Every structure is written in C-alpha cells, then in structure tokens.
Amino acid sequence: MGFGVRSKRWKHHYLIGKLFGPFSFINISEGREEVDDVEHSSRNLVEVAVLMNIVQRLHKEWQCPSQKLSVCVVSSYKAQVKEIERRLGNRYEKLNNFELKVKSVEEYHEGGEADVVIISTVRSNSAGSVGSNLDRQVANVALNSSRHCLWILGNKKNLVEADSVWEDIVSDAKERKCLFNAEEDEDLAKVIIDVKSKLDELEDLLDKDSNIFKAARWKVVFSENFVKSFAKLPSAFSKKLVVNFVLKLANGWRPKSKKINMVCKSSVGIAKQFKVEGRYIICTNDIIWVPGYATQILKVWDILHLEDVPALVNKLDIIYGALSDDFLICCKESCLQGNLEVPVRYASFDVARYKDKNGGSTGSLDAVNGGRSFIEKAKVKESLLLMKFYPFSAGVLSHLLSASDGTVLNVPFEVSDQEREIILCEKSSFILGRSGTGKTTVLVMKLFQKEQQHHIASEGFNVHDALMRGSPSNEPGRIGTSLCQLFVTVNPKLCFAVKQHINNLRRFVHGGNSGEAYISSDVNEMDEYEFKDVPDSLEEIPSHVYPLVITFNMFLLMLDRTLGLSYFDRFPDIRKIYSLETASSRLVAQAVRRKEVTYDKFRTSYWPHFNLQLTRNLDPSRVFTEINSCIKGSLHSRESDDIKLSLASYLQLSKRRVSNFSEDEREMIYKIFEDYEKMKVVRGEYDLADLVNDLHHRFKCEKYEGEFMDFVYIDEVQDLTMKQLGLFKYICSNVEEGFVFAGDTAQTIARGIDFRFEDIRCLFYTEFLHGEERKKDKGLISATSHLSQNFRTHAGVVNLAQSVIDLIYHFFPNSIDPLNPETSLLCGELPILMDCATREDAIIKIFQGKGSHGDNSISFGAEQVIMVRDDYARDKLANKIGRQALVLTIFDCKGLEFEDVLLYNFFGSSPLKEQWRLIYEYMNEKLCLLDPETFPSFTNAKHDVLCYELKQLYVAITRTRQRLWICEDRDGFLSPMADYWQKLNLVQVEILDDSFVQAMQVASSLEDWKWRGMKMLEVRNYKAATQCFERARDFYWEKFARASDLKETANNWRGLRLDKSLEMLREAAEIFESIKNIKKAIECYIDAEDYQKAGELYQVESDLKRAGECFTLAGCYKLAAEVYAEGYYLCDCLYACSEGKLFDLGLRYIRSWKQQKSLSCKPTQKRIDLNASEQEFLRSCALASFKQQNKPAMMKYVKDFSSLESMRTFLEKLGCFGELSELELENGNLLEAAKSARQMGNIFLEADILGKAGNCDDASQLYLASVFAGSLWADGKGWPLKEFPLKKDLLSKAKAYACNCSRHFNEVICENMKFLSSAKFDLRELERQLALSLRKKNLRGQILSARRILDRLLANDVLMHKSGINRSISSLNMTTTKKLIRHWDFWKQEIETIFKCLDSLKDKRSCDFPEHERFCLEYLGVRKRSISLDAD
C-alpha cells in the first residue's frame, strides 16, 4: 500500500517534530466540515488552516537553493481544493527551489509524484460519514505517489467508524506509531484555536438570539453595489469574515493603521478603506436625523479589489465635495470611548448640508433645495446617490448571506429623512409628489413600519431604539395578527408589485430566505395572483390575509358582496354565476369585467353612436372624464339623494369653480351623458360610477357587517373620483391616524378622473370627520407632505417638467396642487429640441438613414420609445416606420419609464394650434420678455384645453430617465414653448443630421426586448408587447401578446357587435391553446360564455373544481357532477345534481360515498358540511318527486335521510302520513305508525296497528268508537242508532281485542256492544241497562240508555195521542209523569255537561269532564287534534 516511506531509504525530515516524519496521520478532531455554497461540495476550514501552516513552515525551513522541493496537496473534494487555492493565491509561484501544487485526487491520478504529499480528507461530522469519494482506488493512488513524506490530515474517529479503506489506514498508522494529534505540535495547536475562535464568532452572527447587533454602537448601512460585490466573494467563509469585520466596525473598533484615511489621494478626505480578505471595504461617515437628535452613521459603499478603489473614491469626492465645509467637519469629527470610536450625537443640528452655487452653504439634512439642483453627474442607473441603502442587522445579514447573485435583496431599505418623518407621522397623512419621488415607497414602508411598531410595542421594547438599530423581531406568526391594514391602488401592476414587496418584507421579518420571498412576476400569473388569498367579501377576514393589498376594482367587488343584495343581480348572466354556490371570485370578477364600460369601450363602442353634431368638436377622453368625475362622481352630486348632477346644477358649476368647458359645451356633454346612460341600460352594461353610487346608497340604507380597518393606504389617488374615495370612510373609523392618501394631480390624465389633491383634504374634512367637535380639532388633518426629490431621472428632465408645472399653476391654479419645485441629485444631458431644417416628416429622416453597424436602417432599442399624442397618430406613424421603434401614446406610457423618449409632433397635432402663443403672456409677465400686443390674451373659457395639453406634456416629459428629444415636422406650433424653454436655458437645440441620428441609436439584446415586452404586458399594452416579442424572436410570448390583444379588443366590441366579439375570442383561445397556455384559453372561452369548452380544458388541466363550475354554468350538469365527484368536491357534486334534476345520480353518489369509509379521512373534506349537503340534496329530490305526485320515488330519497326523525319531520310537513305510517312499520315503531295512521284519519289501520303493538284495549275502543259513529251517521241523519254493512265485523274485532284484555274491560266492551245494538228493548230492559251503566260508570251506556228510555216513553205518549182522547186516562196510568220527568232531568243534565265541554273545545281550555268530552267527539265521529302533530 505504499508504506515504504518508513524504510531507511526514505528517511527525510523536512520539518522538525515527530508529526512530520516519512509517514504520519495527523488527527484533527476539532475539524469543521461544511458544504460550500457554490460547488455544493464539502470542505473543512480547520484542515485548511492547519495545511496552510504546514506549507508556510516547509517553505521557510527549506534551505537548499540548488535542489527543488516539490509539495503536492491532495483532496478528493473540489470545494476543499478551491479554498486551499484561494488561500494560497500566487504566493509560491515561480520559485526556483520550491514547487507547490494543489490537486484533486482525480487530477493527481493522471500522473506525477512529489517529495511531500499532504492529503486532506475533509470529512469531520457527528454522523461518522465519509462520503463516497474516499474509496480504496482513490486512496491507493494518493498513497503511492509520495517520494519521501506522506502526511494525512483527518478526523480518525470519523474515518475509523466509516466502512471504508480508511479504517485500515488509520489502524496501520496506529500500529506503526505514526498516528498523532495535531495539538501535539505547538504551532498547529495555536492555529486550530485561532481558526475555531473565528468560526465560533461567525456562527454567533447567524444566531437570532445573539445580542451582538443590539449592542452595536454605530448604525451601519450598506449600498446595493456592496450587495453585488459581496455576492461575488469566493466562499461563504469569506463572506462571514467580511460581515464579522463590518460588525467590529459597528461596535467601534478601528484599525490602528493611520493609512485608512488616505485613500488614493482623496481631495475630500472622508472616504476610508479597510482591508479584509484581499479586498477593501470603502466607507464614509454621514449624518442623519432620528427623532430627537442627529447622529453620525457609517455608510458602506462597496468592497473592491485595490485597482477598482480609485474610481469609486473619485465619485465620492464629487458627491461629498458638494457638502458644506461645516457639514464635512461634523462627518469627520470623532469621539473615543477608551479604544473604541463611537458616533457623535447632536441635540440640535442646524448645519447646512450642501454648498450653494456661490460657494456658500444652503439646505439642511433633508434634501437638496433650490440652492443646488444636482450634485452628481452620472447616468441614472449608475448613480451612487440614487442607490438603495440597507441597515446592517441580524435579519438583513441572514438574507445577505443567502443571496447568491446579489441582484435582489428583499429587505427594508433606508429612506431619506423627509420620508422617515412621513412614515413616523402619527396622523392621517396626505402625500403629494410628482412622478418618481417615491410616494409608493413611503406608503409601503409606513405600512410595514406600523406592523413593526405594533409588534415591538406589544413586546415592551422601545420603538425608537429598535427601529434605529434596524433589527426588527424575527419571531414568526406575530406580525399582522391583530392589525387590520388595507392598501388600495387602481393599477393592477402596481398592486402586484406592492404585494410582492410586502410579502418579501414580511418574510424577512419572519426570518425567511430571500430566495423564498420571490413571487413570480410572470404576467401569465399576475391576474391569478390578484385573487390569491383575497376573500370574497370584507366579512370575517382571516388574520393571515393582512395586510390586504388589492386593486380598487377588487375592493368594490368585496364591498358589493358585503352589503346584502349584490348590485350585479340586475344582470341575468352575472346573477346566474352568483347563484352558483361554488363560483370562484375569479369567475365572478371575469363576468363583471365583461359588463364594465371602460374608456376603451366607451370610445370604440359608444362614441361612434352619439349624435355627430354633439361629438364633432369634443374629445371622447375629456367627455368620459367629465361624465365620471363630475356629473356622476363629484362631491356636488352628493348634496342630495340623486346619484348624478342635474343639468341645471352641472351648468352652475362654472360659477363655483374654474370651468374647463363653456356653457354650450356643457349642454352638449350633458346630452351625450343622457344618451350614454340609455345605451348602457339597453346593452346591460355599467360603469364604475354606477357601482360606486349604488354602494353609497346601500351604505346609507344597510348596516355594514364587514371588518373595520385600522389603517387604510390609498396610492395614486389621482386615478380615483371623489365619490370613489368617499367609500373608504365607511370601513375605517380611525380618522385620527388611519388614512394615508398619496398621489400627483399633475398626472391626472386618467380617463374619467379630474380633481385637485387639495379636494381630498376637503373630502376628508366634510365626509370623514363626523361631528362638529371633530371638525374643530384641526390637528386631525395633517399638512400635506410634499415629496420633491426625484429618484428616477436627472435635473435636466426634472427642471423641464417643472417649467410645465409652472405654466399650469399660472393659467389654471385651481386644477393643480402647488408644490415646491422638484429636485434631482443627478446632472444629466439637457433635453434636445431637434432642428429639422423645416423638413416635413422628420421621423422619416431618422429611420431611413444608415445604421451604426452598417445595416440599412436605424432602429431604436428596447429602452427607447417614440411618444405621440393619440391612437390615430400612433397608428399613422407605425405605418411609416414599421417595427423599427416602439410607438406609444402618452396615455399608454403612463406608469412606464424609458431611458430615451422621442416626443414626436406633440405640438403639431395639438388642438391648440396657434393658441400655444398664450405662453408668451406668461413669459411677458414673469420674464418681462415681449410686447403685450404680440400674443393673445388668456381667458379660461376660451382656452380651457390648454390645461389638459400641459398635463399631457408633463406626463410625456417625465417618462424618460436619461434622454429626451422633442421633434416636430413643423416648428410653428412649437416656437412658443421652444422660446420659453430656451429663455430658461432648459433645452439645447441640435441639428437633425446623420451624426445626431447615429448618436440616438442604442442597440438592445434579445433579452432586453423580451424584458420590455413583459413590461408592456404588465400594463396590458398588447400591441406594443407583440412588437417587442417579435424583436426578441420569442414566438411563445409574441403569440401570447397577439392573443391577449384579440381578447381585449373583443371585449371592447362586445356591446357593438357581439358576433364579431365572439369570433375574436374564439380565435384568441385557439392561439392560446396552440402555445399550450390553457389558462388564458379558458379565460377566452369564459368571456365568450362557451362554458362547456372552458370546462373541458379545465378538465384536461385537472382543475376539476373549476371544470365543474363551468359545466354547471353551461347546463351540463351530469358532466359537472362527474368531475366534481372525481375531484372529491362532494358538496359541489350534489349541487350540480340538484340543479340538473339528476336525483337518481346524486343518490347513487351518496350511497357510494357512504360505503367508502376512507372518504371521511380526506383532509380537504369537512364531513359535517358534506352531511348537510347530502341531506339538503335528498330533501330537494324528495320534494320534487312529491310535487310530481310520485310518492314511491319520494320515499326512495326519504329513506336515505340521515335519521328517522328527519324523515318524520319531512313527511309530516307534507302531510304524507300514510307513507310515514308504512315507514314506521318498516322500522318496527308500531306506536309511531299508529300515530301516523291517526293523523291520516285511518281509524281502522290505527286500531289494527295498536292491536299488533299489544294495545288491545285501545284497539277495541277504537273499533267500538267507529261502530258508534257509524251507527249514528251511516245514513247521514244521526239518531237513532242504525245498522250499517261493516257494523257486525267491527263489533267482532272489538270483541276479539277485548278478549285479550282484563275480564272487567271485556265485560265493559260487551255491554257497550249491547248499547250500540239497533235491536229494540222493552222499557224494563232499558232501565236495567241504565242502572248497570250507572253502577259501572259507563257514560256512553248511561246517555244512550236514558235517550232510549225517553224515546220509548215519548213514543208511547204519541201513540196514545194518535189513538184518541178517550184513552188518555189509561195512558196516564201506564206511564207515570214522575218517571218521565226523572229520566228527562238525568238526560238533560248530561247534555248540559256536554255543551260545557263543547265551549271548552272552542276556547281551547282544558275540560273538567273528560268522559263527556270523549262521548261528544265519538258521537260526532271526530277526534281531538294531537298536540304533537300538525294534522288530524
């Protein structure tokens, strides 16, 4: 096995000590095995440190210049090899007498020997595993390749316990007395202790319970560039060492070397460099405000190789060179506590941050103001000042170490002092800022901060100190459990981004991995994500759903489902979906969207049908805005119960506010509005204003049962009307601090919206603050916070946009909110006015020149756009230049950003035309430029369109990040604005020649075009997306965008040409199917209301729940039931069977499920709900059969009811007592069966059942009672008793049952049978029967005997009367008056008692004579109603 190194021939001692003989196994029991984060291979940093010490000593001890010592380090793990190579670097290269190689076992196997071979076995773990790499063949190769010395480093315990060749090697070393512990060498012992100490410290960094971050003296923040550079560090160990070094800086430790403040001859002298792991950390001191004081912080800019440091320092010199001298002195000031440097705090700090243009000082800590508009000259995406900074905390560290590419760090970043002040504001806030000033960022951070404060306060911590340290709690499950927060915005793309960001922040707080926090931004899933974890209504929202981030449309749908009867019940097709109990929110929302009139639908489907005389001089966008924002959506329309302004009130608006229309125009607009409303009703459509007005009405009439929010955040409020904003007052009563509104009315070009931001404050005051006492407390309404620092573009663009704002505010002060001028920290190229040399079609000159790469045409890149006024101009230009550039309207670009923007023919296509000369009035007044007679005089009514034009121009300008070109075919209409901008030195003029055209061109990769296409998909600009994907040569997404465009166009055409709309939807569906995008194909079929096809595709996708929904809507109930059953959606299956009258099918399913005992174990099934559904289904089946008079079928379903009691209840309510009696008999419940027979009036059946039940006395009496009634009423005449056909049989049955009873009872029955006999008895026999009845208390016998006696006595008297007067004396002798009177009195008394009983029955009182009551009812042939049952 190559152990010949122990022979005398090989006794070379290159190092002093017994560990370093010809053969040694050096046991390193305290090794730390770990898996590398790149190679996913094992390494052992303790073995690396030991090996480095051995190599250094070998090199130092080798003293033979004439001979070369060859050393080879071998390991079977790539990660170990790379770590050793990294640590060695090029230190031992190109040495004449010392050769060092580091190889894997596989590489060493290819050939070669060395004087000294050192093997690093790496594995050292508690499991005793050595892996599969250390097999016998590999070991033999390494062991046979050493000339003089073989030293093996490893953990003997691990290697011995493993079933491998290494067990033999360790045993052999032990026998040869060549096994040593590394600690036996003093130098190696020190190395092991040192490296273990460092590793222990690094492990503490990842301990969430560690106090090392909480005890940090400095607040440390690091930049995005640092994140990217940090990710490129070679190993996790290196990263941990860097983190540990930064943590030492945070605790106040500073190296003793004085050179750290001298970085590449820095002119400012504020940048510091610290060397760690072969790189240099570059950082500076800065000063920030925290509540109560200002303090120094440490800003880490990057970690770089030495050669890259000067470039960064030069940039920092420029940035910090703009700071005032006093501010720099404060930054450089140091404070020592012992050997530690601590941050300087300032109780008051009024030192100016920046120098002004004249070299003085201006500004404050907050931001740059008017004294200086920029301090850095760089591209926006390369700017240091616009980079995000992150706090150095335990949570952030965990994410930093887990991020592999350094591109995204999903943790809270640092905000400016002004933003921090807004975030920490305790009152309801109003945030106004222009495009790119960070409004949404403030909202999200405020929401996140509220959750942090809520949790920190609940834990008893100091909120300020915790937030200052930037170390929020990482305990999961606590955030958001009791704080109800709602974030609403109109833009689905923005909503998606905010959801994603908040999700990432929450994962960060919960200690999740940054990679796990990522939500796919695939636009194919964006619509689906809109409904993810969003409840159908605002009732009983689960705590895990908060914060609730939704679009405004979704907010309206949730309100609609919360407030009783839905607004959409008036639409039959939507009502059908609502009635479907299983319908998903997405299916409902899709149906609702088909009915909504958006601006695109208004323009394409409604506008062409209005009176041409009304629309000729009006713009559809402005009319749609006026209808929705003013007539139906303004505060004025809420002055009464009317949902809209009357014509008179609408015309009067011009007297209360600056009017954008003349009175004549207003009249035409109102007529268009009236026609529009009628057309909507005919087409069965609605607009958002209709739904909003309905919700306001329902809030007034109904009690709100939904959840009340603690905090509500509304972004982009300029996209909402006053009435829409007014809805939020109903769901949040925390007016003191619960509302945050953010927006920019300079961007109010949303079709259907028009108001000032200040109107929101008015709305809040009048509508949200209820009661005079609240209104008196003005402190409830905070001052509007103005965000003025732009983070998206440079000063050249910002200043040009501000010049447009100045014009708007000058001419239309009531149409825009006053703001401080925007500022940018970046200097950039001034916007360019193209000098086209009076040539028409300048755009043709641009795109028909030679390309910069020798091709035949110029093409714009993915980050460049040509912006035009409207759809007509876009389509016309697109026809000219083809696919050479993106051409978008200004409205299309809202919410998008581009590196370069070419604004084309904006002024030439403007309806203002010569009226742009109004700008000269402003220039004359403000700049004292022109003679008053050279320009027209401004009047609001005549020039109202100027306001809209200027807002359009502002949005167009602010879409660029870097370069802006303004090009006109004719200079005439541009001249006023050109003169204005040139006077202010805001633009430069360039001749449109070939060199300029070449400079415009920017090449883009296929990936760039795909990225832009995805952005266009996000904003639903499908035509532009199609063009981008064509340029990207991405055929999948090209077809996706093309089909999406067809789908959207079809929905806009729906009200105009339904057949054409359905054709386009089917075409779109086929395209989606061709690219295997089944979800989108399904959406198209649903929009086309082809629910069966949609269901079939859902079935293919195994989405059986939604397949069942679609089949149900299509009326394919059998298919629906089958897919529901297949997916174990059992309740839904029964619903489909019920709707389709598939009663037998449903019954078979129920019986099948009952046989599947495992069904109740399904985790997704709630058995109690299933049972309820089963019973409801069976009841509906039985009821339907009853209505069809099919009682046998009815009983089939009834017998599957869950309990006999439910069967009884059902049958009793329907009066099916015969069926109930049979059911009771089947179940052996004879007494219950008898009760049912009684309820159905079948006395003979009741008697027979009672007899079978052993109640022979009751049975006998029933037969006797029936004989009694039959004897009286068989002929319908009553008394006297008569014979009837069944009398003999009934008396026989009564006697037969009586024979089974007591002797006394039998005698009574026999006597009663005699009483009921129709035979004639003489008077003496009748008197005997009466006496017997009295003795045995037989009331029936008493009354019948008495009546018969009276009849007999009276009959004799009548006979005497008929025979003649002469016989009267003999008659008196035969019948005494005394006997007649006695029997009469007895009979009369009994009859009077019976009448009393009848009165008690009438009044429903209890009777004092129950026997008389019973006799009376038997006499009349009726029975008393049972109290427990509903039938006789």
Known binding residues are 433-440
The rounded distance, in Å, linking the Cα atoms of 1219 and 1193 is 12
Half-sphere exposure of 910 (CA within 13 A, CB side): 30
Distance of CA 77 to the CA centre of its chain: 45
Angle between helices 1058-1074 and 1035-1053 (to 10 degrees): 160
Name the token pair of 451: 């959750």
Query: Within the chain, how many helices (H) and strands (E) appear?
Result: 61, 34
Q: Which residues contact 888 (CB under 8 A, 6 or more apart)?
A: 865, 866, 867, 868, 874, 896, 1021, 1024
The rounded distance, in Å, linking the Cα atoms of 714 and 757 is 13
The rounded distance, in Å, linking the Cα atoms of 1079 and 1081 is 5
The rounded distance, in Å, linking the Cα atoms of 513 and 417 is 29
The rounded distance, in Å, linking the Cα atoms of 406 and 223 is 11
Backbone phi, psi, residue 518, to 5°? -70, 135
The rounded distance, in Å, linking the Cα atoms of 219 and 763 is 42
Q: Which residues contact 1097 (CB under 8 A, 6 or more apart)?
A: 1073, 1078, 1081, 1082, 1085
Name the token pair of 1102: 């195994």
Q: List, in sequence order, every beta strand (DSSP E) within 615-733.
A: 711-714
For the chain, percent helix, then strand, then coil, each to nearest 5? 55, 10, 35
Query: Is beta strand 887-889 parallel, antiparallel or unpaired with respect to 864-868?
Result: parallel
The rounded distance, in Å, linking the Cα atoms of 935 and 931 is 8
Three-state DSSP class for residue 1203 = coil
The rounded distance, in Å, linking the Cα atoms of 1405 and 533 is 61
The secondary structure element, H or E, covering residue 139 is helix 136-143
Instruction: Starting at the earlier edge strand, list the strands of the sheet with 711-714.
Output: 548-551, 485-489, 711-714, 739-743, 429-433, 785-787
Detail the residues annotated as belonging to a binding site for ATP: 433-440
The secondary structure element, H or E, covering residue 759 is helix 757-763
The rounded distance, in Å, linking the Cα atoms of 624 and 756 is 18
Buried b (16+ CB within 10 A) or exposed e, 276-314: bbebbbbbbbbbbbbeeebbbbbbbbbbbeeeebeebbe
Half-sphere exposure of 13 (CA within 13 A, CB side): 7
Name the token pair of 276: 């760690």
Backbone phi, psi, residue 1240, to 5°? -85, -5
Instruction: Starting at the earlier edge strand, list the strands of the sheet with 146-154.
Output: 98-104, 69-75, 114-120, 146-154, 23-27, 179-181
Q: Which residues contact 908 (CB under 8 A, 6 or more apart)?
A: 968, 969, 970, 973, 974
Cβ neighbours, 10 Å, residue 1371 = 14
Q: What angle do CA 482, 486, 487 make, to 5 degrees?
A: 140
Beta partners for residue 70, in sequence order:
99
Distance of CA 567 to the CA centre of its chain: 24
Are the C-beta atoms of 499 and 551 separated by less than 8 Å?
no
